Every structure is written in structure tokens, then in C-alpha cells.
Structure 1
Amino acid sequence: MPILTSDVDTASAAYLHNREVQSAAVAALNEQLEIVAAGGGERYVKRHHDRGRLLARERIELLVDRDAPFMELSALAAWGTEFNVGAAIVTGVGVISGTECMIIAHDPTVRGGTMNPYTLRKNLRALDIATVNRLPVVYLVESGGADLPTQSDLFVDAGRIFQKLTALSSIGIPTISLVFGNSTAGGAYVPGMCDYAVLVDKAAKVFLGGPPLVKMATGEESDDESLGGADMHTRVSGLGDYFAIDEVDAIRIGRDIVAHLNFRKLGPGPTQPADDPLFDAEELLGIASGDSRVPFDPREVIARVVDGSRFSEYKPRWGTSLATGWASVHGFPVGILANTRGVLFSEESKKATEFILLANQTDIPLIFLQNVTGFMVGAEYEQGGIIKDGAKMINAVTNSTVPHITVNMGGSFGAGNYGMSGRAYDPRFVFTWVNAKLAVMGAAQLAGVMSIVGKAAAESAGREFDVEADAKRTAEIEAQIERESHPFFISGKTYDDGVIDPRDTRSVLGMALSAAHSNVVSGRRGFGVFRM
């Protein structure tokens, strides 16, 4: 397979500028991740430890295999909202007793681990990932239930957690709950719906109604242990399958359960040499543009991500605004689609369509490296059939059944986001580089469109156009779109699965591909009608 070369000049002004901008963005990301890891803050962490309890991340660290990676997902959920960044829950893919699992852990230091609307979004996304990739689910439970002031945004959709848990079990994907503390009201159905339930002595509280509610409803006097303790549920009700003497014991039992699941991957293992790229991933900080309006050659990225920097490009002389080709990442064969100049023309759309069809014919997963401003507009391109050709590409993306993994490297705008397998098209995983943007269009373009529309409306109504008010409105709109296209804002809404340092791209793709191969990897042989 051909080996990529590199033309990066690490001493150039452009490289140094890009590196400065990207390094600052990475520092800002790390600052936010430190806030996430701090949970509810020093006071609540200390109180939790003083009670002899482990933190959510400490539980995860003991649960996963020694030195195994843990790919945390949606770490910035709820960023920019009234809720704690991270949304009071930790989710991610980790290896337990040799098996890749989806781990979902409540963070009891954040308002008792109560669920807010962003917690729900993050939880449901984790269960969706587990379902499509066929990953066993391990819940680390300690939650006070719903955040009652936001119940109107929670109650109806929260039932989907239990629906998804039972659906996972019905298709043979194991679900395990390790209950370290509160699992009350609706939360009691988490261990109730899981295939296995482990309860910690003198800590687990699993009941539909606690002592105060029981007193109010029936007049009965009771206590936590008789209503929902580990001893009662493992001896009397039968809800608990395993009795753990403490948290470490519960984690030991959880690892043992996974070890005896007899769970096997359905997809093929790595088949290619997994040698390191020839070029340093550190250089990605200087390759990624510091300005989303300035394109960069994605082949320089590919050369630092794929095995041995090998890349067999498909149709390199046609539709050159999109690079397509074959490679492997950590031994997994992949097809790559990467934007080179931002705009998708008809040729690029048809090229992408053909390439996606070929990947499906050969059961090869696809990686979409987005840096796209959209499909080309204008009379010439409309008359040339850009809508029909764009529809072909979107048809192929929609109906493709091989795993898709999407990375937004610089910008993802307009229908280009759809054509390059954006979140609405159900890629297995979506990640965003730390300085990338996502919106219907760029801030300046959107503000300018609104200004043109305003002028046209004034002319149509026969009234004078207020230039000063338009300038103020344009500035406000541009600032709004800049704010709303920021990667932290996008990730805060859980529109991706995480903001990542560009230098981590190879590792993240490798873990995502490995997770995707827990399920069958098979392409579609028949597609819908293509508009020719």
C-alpha cells in the first residue's frame, strides 16, 4: 500500500500560529476536564470519602483491567448550563475482565448523583452506543433519583432508560448493576431491569418509596435496611443476586460476573499490521488550522493517524475537494473520507457515494474526517445537479451499515455535516477536535444572510432600512453563532461523544473501532433509489 509523505514545515509562521491557537484550546479543554473530575467540589468529595465511599472515577479505576484504557464519553455534557459540567454521571468504554463494556457511573458528589436533563441525555446516548456496538453495560449506581425542579424535562423520557435496559437484555447484551448507595423511586428499576444486581451491605438502598414516603402513604413505620437494604434484597425479596460486604467486594464480584459472561466479539479482529505512523502526532497541533476558514490538507492528518502512514487513495485526480482511500488503524481496515478544501461539489458527492458503496461491498468501516463548509451553491451548480448529487451521497451515508466514526477536525457546516455522517446519521461515535466548529453556517455568513433578508424585507415594505440597527443586530447574531458553534457548547448539548486533543485521534479511533467490532461488521448490499 502507498505510504504518505509529509510537507509540513514546523518552522513556518502558519504552523507556529496554528500550534499556538490549538495549544491554547487544549489547555482550555484540560481545565474543563479537571472541573469535571472534581465532581461536586472539594467539600462534597471529602464528605463522601469520610463516609468510607469511593468516588465514581475511583470505582471505575478499580473495575477496569489494570493498565487498560478507559475512553470517557460526553465529558463536557451540561457545559454552559446551570448544571455541573459532566452532568453528574460518568460514561465510557472500558475493558473489564478482558471484555469491552459500556460503564455508566453516577457521581454522588454532584447533588447526590441526581439526574438532570443533561444527565438523561448522556445516559441515553451511552445506552445507544452500547446497543449498536453490542457492548455489555455495567452500571455503578448511587443516585438520589430525579432532580425534582426539572422533572417536567425528565419524567417522560427517563422511562427510556429502563426500556433500553430491557431491550439490551432481549438481544443478548448483558446488563449488570453494582449498587453502592441510593437507587430509589424510578432508579430502583435499574437493578430491577438489569440481568445481574450486586448490592453493597449497609449502603445500598433500593426501594420505590423511602421511609418518609411509606409513612405518608400507608402510615407504616420502617427504615432503609428493612425497605431496601442489601441484606433484605439478597435474603428476602430476591432482587439482589450478590451480597457485597463493601465497595471493593462489589467491584470484585462485578469483574467476576463479566469474566463468566462467555461474551465474544462478533466482528473480526485486527487483520493488518498495527505499526505506528511514520510521523509525529505532536505535529497535529500545528497542522490543524487555527482559523476554521483556512483549510488544511487532511492527508497530513491521515499520515499521523493510520498504521505505518499507509494510505491507498481512491480517485485521487477527480473530485479533489474530498480525499477518499483505504488504510488501517490499530490493525482494523478502514475507508477514510476527508475534506480537503471545505466545499463539496457534484464530483465529490458522486465520488463519496461510490466509495461508500465499495466499503459496504467489502464490509469495511468508514472514518469521516470533517472540515466542510457545505455543498456548493450558485446557478451553475444548481443547474449541474448539485441537489441530486448531494442526495446520492446522503442516501449512501444513510443506508450504509458498516460502522461510521466521525471526527470534526475544523468545521462542520450546513448539509455538509449530513453528507459527512454527522450526528443525525447515527455514526457509531462522533468526536470533535478542540478548536472545531459546528453550525448551520459560519457566523459571518449567517449574520450576513440575515442582514440581506432584512434589507429585502424593508424594500418590499417600502420603508427605510435602518443601517445602524442592522449593524448592531448583525454583530449580535455573529457573536451568538460564534458562541453556539464552539466545541464546548456543542459537546455540552451532547451533540458529540467528546471533545478531544488532536494528538489523541489515533488512540480514540482505535478504541472506537475495537468497540464497534464487538458487533457484526457487515455492509449493505442493496440501497434505495438514487436520483441520477
Structure 2
Amino acid sequence: AYLPIMSDEIHIVEGTGPIFLAGAHLVQAAIGERIDNEALGGAVVQADISGIVDHRHADEATCFAKIRSQFAQLAVGARAPFARREPREPRHDPDELLGLMPVERSRPYDAHELLARLLDGSELDEFKETYGRTLVCGTGWIGGHAVGVVANQRQVVDRRTGLEPKDKELQIGGVIYSDSADKGARFVELCNQKRIPLLFVQDVTGFMVGSRSERGGIIKDGAKLVNAVANSVVPKITLFVGNSYGAGNYAMCGKAYGARFLFAWPSASIAVMGGEQASRTLLAIQVKNRGHHVSEEEKEALLADIQKRYADATNPRYAAARLWVDALVDPRRTREVLARALEACANNPEIPEFRTGVLQT
């Protein structure tokens, strides 16, 4: 079982080749548990639940096709360090991006739809597609340049916890959970091994909080992702399309994490936390500092003033004026801008050795 797990990437075909430390007969003899091999370590268990397997396929033909596409993206040599091929237009019109993003920031949308209007042929070879689903990770091409994508999924998704249809739990879109942090860290490391530039598409409200997350090790899992991003040596490009709050900004390669280019859509919002939470927090501090009773009318006036100032400070133009982002981009021109950025990265291909600090597991 340890041999496949030590591979860079693992593929599994449904109904064949389960992975486990001990088969069904040994498990029954050792601990008395009656279970078949597929339920013990089959494709669904190891891809969807444990996350050990990176790619689950319905048949061998699909599996081999994906492996071929992965070999096509490997770096080809010192003079051309990043893979290239003939560019292809997306199957979906990039102009449709204007209608994709909801006006209300809390409304969900599918990150796959956004990526389908940026990537060549609208094609994404997704990594751990059924695991850690609040992050969408995968490889594709933009303007003929190979790129690894890490994007926040804003839709509510479900996480499998067992083999029965009812064995699921919901995860909030735009939030990084332990499984998605683990997946993201692994993908960033993989792109560094394969010398594939990284594109981070940010619409993140932060890491999941609460007692359950703390007991599940969200701090160490989040640190693993931040560590991998901070130490990544391949070119990194960050695109802010929506929210970019708190530690989520760090994990998704914010300003301090060495991105070669940072671009923002007009819909971006870069801040410590969301406007409503921040305004209420600042209001409580101001009321306390006044040292006397504050009427409800005064509180409403204070809150309105705080909200206006906070909205101004989270506007992407505010960030651009302070060089926190390199450019504000019309969503319809994003693909063109990203292709030029990747071209620039290819003209400066110096990459040091990839090393990370100690990764807690």
C-alpha cells in the first residue's frame, strides 16, 4: 500500500485495484470486522473520503487519457523551462464573465464556470476533484502556457464521510477547510516538482472556525498550505475576483507571498474581514472608548460612517493606489492579461531549489 502512496500522483479506476494495509480476510481475522475490499479501500473510499488517491476514473481509457495530458505539461528543458503548446480559444465566451459574478458577494457561483472562460479549450485537468471541494485545483493552459490553478469554490459543496448516500456533510463555499487546505498544499508542491507556474484565483472569506475545526487540526492544515505557498519557487500569479479576507489572503498568495503579478477585478474586496463583521467590531470598540451611554440613534450614525469608510478602504482601487495590486483588469480581458503575464514569466525562468519548512501532518 505504501508504494503507490509515495508516487507523485495516484490514479485509480473504479472497481479495480483497491488500496489498503490489510485485505478483508486479514481485517476480519485481526479485529473481527466484516467488510469487502471495495468498501475497505476502493476508489470512492480512497479518492472521496480519505483523499489518498488524486484521480478517480470510471474506466481505464479515461485514466490513460488523463495521464497523457499530465505528461504533456512537464517542463521540457533549461532553455524552455515551462511547457508550451499552440493556444486555443475557450469554448465559452470570456464576455460572459460579466454576468457570472453575483452583485451580492455572499451569493454562490461555480468556479468551474469562471475557469471555463479563462482556460484554453475551457479544459481543466482537475486534481482531487472529489476531495477538499471548496478549493478547485487543476492544470490547464492559458494562451498556450501551462498553468496550475488554485481557485476558491464559492458554491456550497458536500463532503463524503461514508459510502452511503446519506453520509455527507455540507461545506460553505469560499471557506478553506482542513481537507481543502491539505489538497491545496499537495497541489502547490506538485506544481513545483513539475515546474508549472501557478495561478491563484481568490474569492475567499478565510479558514473554517469553531470547535469542530480546531479539534480537526485546521491550524496545522492551514499552516501546511501557507507554508507551501510561501516557499513555492515557480512563478505565481494572483487574480482577485471577489473577497480576499484575513488568513485566506495568505493561503491564496496575497501580496506578501511573492506573486510575480497581482491583478484585481472591479468586484474584488481585500480586507482583514468582511465589511459587516468589521463594521460591527469597530462600532463596539468606538462605543466602549466613549466611556458613556450611546443612544441607538448615535450607534446607527456611527455604524453608517464606519461602513462607508470601510467600503472605501476595501475597494480594489484603494489597493491599486497603494500598489497592493499591479492592475485592475476588465474581466473580459483577463485571459489576455494572464497570457502576457505567463509569457513574461517564461522570459525570466530562474527558479531556485524548492524547499519547505517542517510540514505538520
TM-score over 0.5 (shorter chain): yes
Post-superposition CA distance 1:30-55 (Å, at most 9, x none): xxxxxxxxxxxxxxxxxxxxxxxxxx
Letter of the 2:214 counterpart: E
CA 1:408–1:450: 2 relative to 1, 3 Å = same
> How far did 1:429 drift?
0.1
Q: What residue in structure 1 maps to residue 265 of structure 2? A: 433
> How far did 1:478 drift?
1.1
Question: In 1, distance between residues paired with 2:251 and 2:298?
Answer: 37
Q: What residue in structure 1 maps to residue 278 of structure 2? A: 446
- Structure-to-structure mapping, 1:68-83, within 5 angstroms: none
CA 1:311–1:411: 2 relative to 1, 3 Å = same
- Structure-to-structure mapping, 1:279-358, within 5 angstroms: 279-340=92-153, 341-358=173-190
**Could you tell me the percent identity over the aligned residues?**
39
Residues 231 and 354, structure 2, Cα contact 8 Å, conserved in 1: no
> How far did 1:292 drift?
2.1
> How far did 1:297 drift?
1.2
> How far did 1:376 drift?
1.5
Letter of the 2:125 counterpart: S
Residues 83 and 196, structure 2, Cα contact 8 Å, conserved in 1: no
> How far did 1:312 drift?
0.7
Q: What residue in structure 2 maps to residue 116 of structure 1? A: none
> How far did 1:329 drift?
0.9
> How far did 1:525 drift?
3.7
**Residue 515 (1) aligns with residue 344 (2):** yes
Segments of 5+ residues of structure 2 without an aligned counterpart are: 1-77, 154-172
Question: In 2, distance between residues paired with 1:287 and 1:325?
Answer: 21
Residues 292 and 411, structure 1, Cα contact 8 Å, conserved in 2: yes
Residues 203 and 243, structure 2, Cα contact 8 Å, conserved in 1: yes
> How far did 1:382 drift?
2.1
TM-score (norm 1): 0.47
Q: What residue in structure 1 maps to residue 202 of structure 2? A: 370
Question: In 1, distance between residues paired with 2:129 and 2:276?
Answer: 32
> How far did 1:520 drift?
2.0
Post-superposition CA distance 1:270-303 (Å, at most 9, x none): 5233111111011010012222222321211111
Q: What residue in structure 1 maps to residue 215 of structure 2? A: 383
> How far did 1:438 drift?
0.9
Q: What residue in structure 2 maps to residue 496 of structure 1? A: 325
Residues 360 and 523, structure 1, Cα contact 8 Å, conserved in 2: no
Q: What residue in structure 1 maps to residue 23 of structure 2? A: none
> How far did 1:378 drift?
1.8
Residues 151 and 200, structure 2, Cα contact 8 Å, conserved in 1: yes
Q: What residue in structure 1 maps to residue 226 of structure 2? A: 394
TM-score (norm 2): 0.69
Question: In 2, distance between residues paired with 1:267 and 1:454?
Answer: 57
Letter of the 1:517 counterpart: A
Residues 365 and 521, structure 1, Cα contact 8 Å, conserved in 2: no
Residues 207 and 248, structure 2, Cα contact 8 Å, conserved in 1: yes
- Structure-to-structure mapping, 1:171-186, within 5 angstroms: none
Question: In 1, distance between residues paired with 2:284 and 2:254?
Answer: 29
Question: In 1, distance between residues paired with 2:303 and 2:223?
Answer: 32
Which deviates the most, 517-526 or 381-390?
Answer: 517-526
SS at structure 2 position matched to 1:528: coil
Q: What residue in structure 1 maps to residue 12 of structure 2? A: none
> How far did 1:308 drift?
1.0
Alignment equivalent of 1:417, drawn from 249, 259, 279: 249
Q: What residue in structure 1 maps to residue 65 of structure 2? A: none
Residues 82 and 197, structure 2, Cα contact 8 Å, conserved in 1: no
> How far did 1:267 drift?
4.3
Post-superposition CA distance 1:357-416 (Å, at most 9, x none): 101111111000001111112222222222221111110110000000000011211111
How many equivalent residue pairs? 265
> How far did 1:531 drift?
2.5
Post-superposition CA distance 1:206-234 (Å, at most 9, x none): xxxxxxxxxxxxxxxxxxxxxxxxxxxxx
